[in-house]
């Protein structure tokens, strides 16, 4: 371990404000914050073999936050410390939903063993996955051993969550077309568990039918391989929540025992390194003043359609490397 930065020391000693500030720093896209990020991350190396990272994904409104509220409290009752990173790629545009996520988790947000962090992610340099990895690392350094990442199932974020979590739970509900669409788009291939939520009241029978259809479709898709289990849940009546948590814990236990858990983590570290290299190149590029001028210049031409983005990128990088040649 290197010399800890004061911010890192504060967050590891249980200062939640410091953890919040550290994540904000990581989310910053300003080149001026780059050194501070490096110094913060140099304080420790990622070593969180006792943590479990659970991704919860699905369309807006299916009840992800409401489920996490209950699951989170159950995990705390079992002796864990829970961090929730609620990532909504659309939040900057739509507003409001970020606050919505926190208010959907009233008991969890008040609990001293929980940390909830909603993050607007539009325009984050390096993408959602990059930034979320650093946030997960910081939460683990702060002593949280169950990290729940809530993401809206839009675009790349739904498959990229699989590259930063140990297990992916897909939340859906009867009548929602996104589950079957998800099968088409390959999302189901990265999913470990499906929760058909809002299985309560008048919806109960519809949910059962929907779960059967989904199970049949997943069997077809997975061929001879074991498809993900489809569970009926309700955040309103707490139906199926014990079962959901048991499935999560038993799948993790199984993957730890087979070695899949650690080999997946190693692959994720590899990807983290590769993506961080690209990120670092970009950041360093932006810090070189005369190149930053060329960058704006080329960007304008790219937008005009007067130069191919690929060619422009090559020009920019060649210029950056030219003093070395």
Ligand X SMILES: Nc1nc2c(ncn2[C@@H]2O[C@H](COP(=O)(O)OP(=O)(O)O)[C@@H](O)[C@H]2O)c(=O)[nH]1
Query: b/e for 272-286, b at 16 or more Cβ within 10 A?
Result: beebbeebeeebebb
Size of the site for Mg ion (CB under 5 A): 3
Edge-to-edge strands of the sheet including 193-197? 114-120, 82-88, 146-152, 52-58, 167-173, 193-197, 229-232
Note whether 151 binds Mg ion by CB under 5 A. no
Instruction: Using CA atoms of 212, 217, 221, 224 in order, give the dihedral in degrees to the nearest 10.
Output: 40
- DSSP state letters, 242-258: HHHHHHHHHHHHHHHHH
| Nearer to ligand X (CB atom), residue 39 or residue 90 | 90
| Nearer to ligand X (CB atom), residue 63 or residue 228 | 63
Note whether 134 binds Mg ion by CB under 5 A. no
Among Mg ion, ligand X, none, the one that 198 touches (CB under a kind-dependent 5 to 8 A) is ligand X
User: What is the C-alpha to C-alpha distance for residues 235 and 242, in angstroms, rounded to an integer?
Assistant: 11
| Nearer to ligand X (CB atom), residue 20 or residue 60 | 60
Among Mg ion, ligand X, none, the one that 204 touches (CB under a kind-dependent 5 to 8 A) is none
Supply 222's token pair: 């997975």
Judged by CB under 5 A, which stretch of 69-77, 100-108, 134-142, 179-187 contacts Mg ion? 100-108
Note whether 101 binds Mg ion by CB under 5 A. yes
Note whether 65 binds Mg ion by CB under 5 A. yes
Query: CB count, 10 Å around CB of 41?
Result: 21
Note whether 159 binds Mg ion by CB under 5 A. no
| Nearer to ligand X (CB atom), residue 200 or residue 213 | 200
- C-alpha gyration radius of the chain: 21
The minimum distance between CB 65 and Mg ion, in angstroms, equals: 3
Note whether 192 binds Mg ion by CB under 5 A. no
- List interacting residues with ligand X (CB under 6 A): 58, 60-66, 100, 104, 197-198, 200, 234-236
Note whether 178 binds Mg ion by CB under 5 A. no
The minimum distance between CB 119 and ligand X, in angstroms, equals: 14
User: What is the C-alpha to C-alpha distance for residues 275 and 260, in angstroms, rounded to an integer?
Assistant: 22
The minimum distance between CB 286 and Mg ion, in angstroms, equals: 33
| Nearer to Mg ion (CB atom), residue 65 or residue 207 | 65
Contact criterion met (CB below 8 Å) for 173 and 62: yes
| Nearer to Mg ion (CB atom), residue 50 or residue 103 | 103
Note whether 91 binds Mg ion by CB under 5 A. no
| Nearer to ligand X (CB atom), residue 66 or residue 251 | 66
The minimum distance between CB 79 and Mg ion, in angstroms, equals: 26
Please name the residue ranges forming H helices in the chain: 6-12, 16-27, 34-41, 64-77, 91-94, 97-103, 106-110, 127-141, 157-160, 178-184, 203-222, 241-258, 260-287, 289-304, 309-321
Looking up tokens 């479709």 gives 217
| CB-closest chain residue to ligand X | 63
What residue ranges bind Mg ion (CB under 5 A)? 64-65, 101
């Amino acid at each position: 371990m290197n010399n800890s930065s004061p911010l890192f020391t504060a967050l590891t000693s249980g200062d939640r404000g410091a953890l919040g500030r550290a994540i904000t720093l990581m989310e910053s896209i300003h080149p001026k914050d780059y050194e501070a990020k490096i110094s913060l991350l140099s304080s420790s190396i990622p070593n969180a073999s006792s943590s479990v990272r659970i991704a919860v994904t699905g369309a807006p409104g299916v009840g992800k936050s409401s489920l996490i509220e209950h699951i989170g409290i159950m995990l705390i009752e079992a002796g864990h410390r829970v961090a929730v990173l609620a990532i909504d790629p659309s939040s900057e545009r739509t507003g409001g939903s970020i606050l919505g996520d926190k208010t959907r988790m009233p008991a969890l947000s008040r609990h001293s063993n929980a940390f909830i962090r909603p993050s607007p992610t539009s325009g984050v340099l390096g993408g959602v996955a990059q930034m979320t990895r650093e946030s997960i690392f910081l939460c683990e350094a702060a002593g949280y051993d169950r990290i729940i990442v809530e993401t809206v199932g839009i675009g790349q974020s739904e498959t990229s969550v699989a590259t930063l979590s140990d297990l992916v739970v897909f939340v859906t509900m009867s009548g929602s077309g996104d589950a079957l669409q998800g099968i088409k788009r390959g999302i189901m291939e990265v999913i470990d568990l499906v929760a058909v939520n809002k299985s309560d009241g008048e919806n109960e029978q519809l949910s059962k039918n929907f779960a059967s259809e989904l199970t049949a479709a997943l069997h077809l898709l997975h061929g001879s391989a074991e498809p993900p289990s489809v569970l009926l849940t309700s955040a309103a009546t707490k139906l199926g929540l014990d079962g959901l948590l048991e499935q999560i814990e038993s799948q993790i236990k199984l993957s730890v025992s087979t070695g899949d858990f650690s080999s997946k983590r190693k692959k994720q570290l590899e990807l983290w390194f590769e993506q961080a290299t690209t990120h670092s190149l970009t950041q360093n590029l932006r810090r070189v003043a005369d190149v930053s001028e060329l960058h704006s210049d080329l960007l304008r031409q790219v937008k005009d359609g007067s130069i191919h983005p690929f060619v422009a990128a090559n020009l920019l990088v060649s210029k950056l490397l030219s003093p070395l040649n």
